[in-house]
Amino acid sequence: MHDINKIRNNADFFIKGWQRRGLDVNLDTILALDKDLRKSITDLQELQTQRNDLSKKFGIAKKNNDKAVYEKLSADVQLIKEKMQSLEEGKEEFSKSLNKELSSLPNIPLDEIPDGKDESSNKIINEYGVKSWPTFTGYGICAISPNRNLWTWNFNIRRCPGGRRLFIEF
């Protein structure tokens, strides 16, 4: 998953990288979610500061037996707690939406990677090695085993003379 701070600070780099992969990503939605998330976090912290200040005053009023101030502060603290709860729920929604958006974005390709949507856009520079594994069944050297447990693991088992097994992964 991409770091939202890096996207926020260097949006052009990410847009160009995704364009190289053939994607048109709208960062306005992601940046708006990030802005809303940061605003809800800031508002939540401000409310926590207010609640803490009121709680201190609440303690002083209770200590001085000032019932009118005590009840007013108690009601104010309760209102702030309700606002904090709704802000916390909003923060969670923004966070989930932002994480969903960020996790759906592909990685940025390196500079040496050719542009294109998938591997079909790659340019073949060199080929070497064996392109397919030979089967020795026609020569009587190995025979395909009917062992079904290992077939489910995508292993083709061939029995060779002497009871040895040759595992070839496909």
pLDDT digits (tens, 9 = 90+) for 30-41: 999 999 999 999
Count of C-beta atoms within a 10 Å radius of residue 142: 18
For residue 152, being part of any structural domain is answered with yes
- Residue 34 covered by a domain: yes
120 lies in some domain: no
- The mean-pLDDT minimum among 3-17, 59-73, 112-126 falls in 112-126
Does 119 map to a domain?
Answer: no
What per-residue confidence (pLDDT) applies to 73? Answer: 85
Total of domains in the chain: 2
Beta carbons within 10 angstroms of residue 52's beta carbon: 12
Which has more pLDDT, 116 or 80? 80
Residue type, 8: R
Residue 118 lies in a domain: no
Contact 145, 157 (CB under 8 A): yes
Q: What is the pLDDT of residues 130-144, one digit of tens each?
A: 555 555 454 444 444
Tokens, residue 101: 């958006």
Give the pLDDT confidence score for residue 142 in this predicted structure. 46
Least confident of 96-100, 104-108, 142-146: 142-146
Q: Are residue 96 and residue 156 in the same domain, yes or no? A: no
Whole-angstrom Cα distance, residue 113 to residue 17? 11
In a 13 Å sphere around the CA of 56, the CA atoms on its Cβ side amount to 5
Q: Look over the chain and give the mean of its residue pLDDT values, rounded to a whole number.
A: 78
Residue ranges making up the domain that contains 146: 130-169
CATH number of the domain bearing residue 48: 1.10.287.40
Reply yes or no on whether the pLDDT at 26 is more than 70.
yes
